[in-house]
Amino acid sequence: MNEAWPLLRTATLTDQVYQVLRDRVLGASLKPGEFIREQDVSERLKVSRTPVREALGRLASEGFLERIPHRGFRVPEESAADLVEFYPIICALEELAARESFPQLDAQALDELRLVNQSYREEFVNEDISAGIAVNHRFHHLLSAGSRNQRLLTMLDELRSKVKSLEIWAFSHINEWTESIEQHEQILDAIEAGEFDHAVEVLNRNRSTTYHEYQTSSWPYANLSVADGQSPPINVPSPLEE
């Protein structure tokens, strides 16, 4: 027990800075097009610039922020509320693809989909949200692939990439992920049984979960404005204030 233990404080601060900035982007406290300065965040949260820099880079890689060369980081022009509006479109297009695709999925295709869902489950165990979302997108791509409509498949892939940041938020909640895994299995079982209408019904529920959670205020900051004077909690001194 005399060996040195690793220092975790920096990582902990990075996670907290990441969380507060992500929450404020999703909660519209940070406006679309607004620049976020590393030094400003560091001063307001009273932390060093290292965890701020790491958090900003992570947010940019996940689509919550845009990295602008020589200028810093900017909130994307499309707000979280704008992104949510893509979900009914994705749902409608996936149903269109599914009704053509499901009858074409043979045993080999279903086996591949079950393997992908098993990988999805493994990412859940590993708590790797970004990797899990990538696997989830592959699952839904393969579900639609039997439609053989390349233009539709490309459109769906592009729309899924647009809502990645909201899915990262949604899949931070453990129930969202476990429910998604179970629904995937239900879809595959229904297809295997030739119950295509039921498979489409479960698919629609699966694809609309994030949309309904956001719309029904399970996201606690979705309807807050700067004038409300409220911000998400963070366990460091002096959280961001307007």
Number of domains in the chain: 2
What number is the average pLDDT over the span 107-113? 97
The residue whose two tokens read 């692939």 is 145
The average confidence (pLDDT) of the chain is 81
pTM score over 0.85: no
* 135 and 35 within one domain: no
Which residue matches tokens 């209408």?
Answer: 197
Determine the structural domain holding residue 63 and report its residue range: 9-79
> What CATH number should be reported for the domain holding residue 154?
1.20.120.530
Between 27 and 141, the more confident residue is: 141
Which are the contacts of 236, defined by CB distance < 8 A and separation ≥ 6? 13, 16, 17, 45, 46, 47
Same domain, 48 and 127: no
**What is the distance, to the nearest Å, from the Cα of residue 217 to the centroid of all Cα atoms in its chain?**
17
pLDDT bin (cut points 50, 70, 90) of residue 173 is: low
User: pLDDT tens, 34-85?
Assistant: 899 888 888 888 889 999 999 999 888 877 888 888 888 988 887 767 788 8
* Co-location of 85 and 198 in the same domain: yes
